[in-house]
Amino acid sequence: MKIAFVFDQILPSIDTSTMQFVNTVSALSNNGCECTLFIPASNCDEPPTVQQIKDYYHVDGEFSIELIHSIFPGPRVPEKVLHPLICATLLRKRLKHFDMVYTRNIPAVASCLCARIPVLYDTYRPWPAQYKAMVPVFKSFFASKKFIGMTLHSEYSRQRYIDAGFDPDRLCTAHNGFNAALYEPVLSKKEAREKLGLPVDAKIAVYSGMFDMKKGLDHLIMLAKARPDVTFLFIGANDGGEKTPFEVEAEQLDNCILTGWKRHDELPAYLYASDVVMIPPITPPNNTVLPIKIYSYIASRRAIYAPATSDTSELLEHNRNAWLVTPDNPEAELDGFSELIDNPELLDKLGAAAAEDAKNLTWDARAKTILRFVESRK
């Protein structure tokens, strides 16, 4: 199967969506697809090579890239619209040589359908539940025989489209995954802590992600203040140059360590060094559904502390593979965290269950799900 991937961001990048897309491309290529990635080229920087992209994301699939020059870098909204329109309109004849176009971009879907090019749309967003005005747009897509369908990152999002009246047979839940090769060899807590120079006998809780208060990091600061006997390890960065309020506050606490951003191949050791890996216990914003850090957390074989929400419940089950607390409830958050971090047997039980679940949550598993769906639509 020849697949053209139309993507609207410059690669490589620390943005999570780029990691998700490149890993999907690589996994599909490893499952027998001939993949070409159409990406924007920066008018300021040297264009990347395929090998540079593969090295940055630590993927091994064989794919090619075609660079498209337009307004990059520029305002994000024009970037998101202009690049896919250029790809799907000016490259119309080129794209017709592929079996399908795979994209996360709505303008690309519209242009491909106008050109009678088969297209598969990938998204994490439950658009009908978030913006009712999007329903007519998707109805126009589903009316086209060239619209293969949608791959959704969660069953939660898929159900929102079904609730809005869209054909379930053209909606596929394809959970994201993790790069299994990066989690080999498996490290014990002791081995990981010795490798990183962390205290072997400490209680360590780890968060990995963007340093943004919108992510609920103030809730983790609250836990750090309440439990000075626990070391809180924060792995990540912020979008800008100045420190965020979270970073300023965390740096004032003796039991908080901010490591900065870590490469994809560096992260597993930090997760293996933890007793608990954390998702801030808040009700997620509308644009956050089943955060991708869940997959690396599951791969780490460690106990997961997370909010009990409708999206996380797809993969996380309280007292089986995670410890879930009522979100936005400081008393429940602290009580739940203490109950977990102070119970070695519970930590081991949850970690063992997560290790079993991880076997079916790789990028390779996602690629196979996507290919079965596409075959079913022929």
Q: What is the DSSP string of 18-48?
A: HHHHHHHHHHHHHTT-EEEEEEEE-SSSPPP
114-125 confidence digits (pLDDT tens): 999 999 999 999
Reported in sequence order, the residue ranges of the chain that DSSP labels E, i.e. its strands, are: 2-6, 34-41, 63-69, 100-103, 119-123, 147-152, 171-173, 203-210, 230-237, 256-260, 276-278, 303-307, 323-325
- Give the chain's domain count: 2
Closest C-alpha among 194, 212, 199 to residue 257: 199
**Structural domain range at position 53:** 2-177+362-376
For residue 120, the tally of other CB atoms under 10 A from its CB is: 22
Does 200 share its domain with 75? Answer: no
Low-confidence ranges of the chain (pLDDT < 50): none
Domain identity same for 157 and 201: no
Complete edge-to-edge strand list for the sheet that includes strand 276-278: 256-260, 230-237, 203-210, 276-278, 303-307, 323-325
Rounded Cα distance, 95 and 134, in Å: 26
Distance, in Å, from the CA atom of 160 to the CA atom of 170, rounded to the nearest integer, reads 13
15 and 120 together in one domain: yes
How many C-alpha atoms does 201 have within 13 Å on its Cβ side?
0
* Residues 350 and 370 grouped into a single domain: no
DSSP conformation class of 217: H
Q: CA-CA distance, 79 to 188, in Å (whole number)?
A: 44
CATH of the domain at 38: 3.40.50.2000
The residue with tokens 């990152």 is 153
Cβ neighbours of residue 302 under 8 Å, at least 6 residues apart? 206, 271, 272, 274, 275, 276, 277, 347, 350, 351, 354
Half-sphere exposure of 366 (CA within 13 A, CB side): 28
Q: Are residues 130 and 268 in the same domain?
A: no
Q: Which amino acid is at 141?
A: F
The pLDDT assigned to 124 comes to: 94
Burial 247-260 (b: 16+ CB within 10 A, else e): bebbeeeebbbbbe
Tell me the two tokens of residue 336: 């739940």
Q: Return the SS3 of 122.
A: strand
Residue 205 and residue 172 share a domain: no
Six token digits for residue 142? 């589903």
Give pLDDT tens digits for 127-166: 999 999 999 999 999 999 999 999 999 999 999 999 999 9
236 lies in the same domain as 148:
no
Together in a domain, 232 and 275: yes
Q: Are residues 337 and 348 in the same domain?
A: yes
Q: How far is CA 211 from the centre of its chain?
A: 16
Q: Are residues 194 and 306 in the same domain?
A: yes
**Do residue 222 and residue 132 come from a single domain?**
no
Give the end-to-end CA distance of the chain in Å, rounded to a whole number.
12
Give the burial class of 76: count Cβ atoms within 10 A of its Cβ; 0-12 exposed, 13-18 middle, 19 or more buried. exposed
Amino acid occupying residue 221: I
The secondary structure of 158-199 as a DSSP string is HHHHHHTT--GGGEEE----B-GGGG-S---HHHHHHHHT--
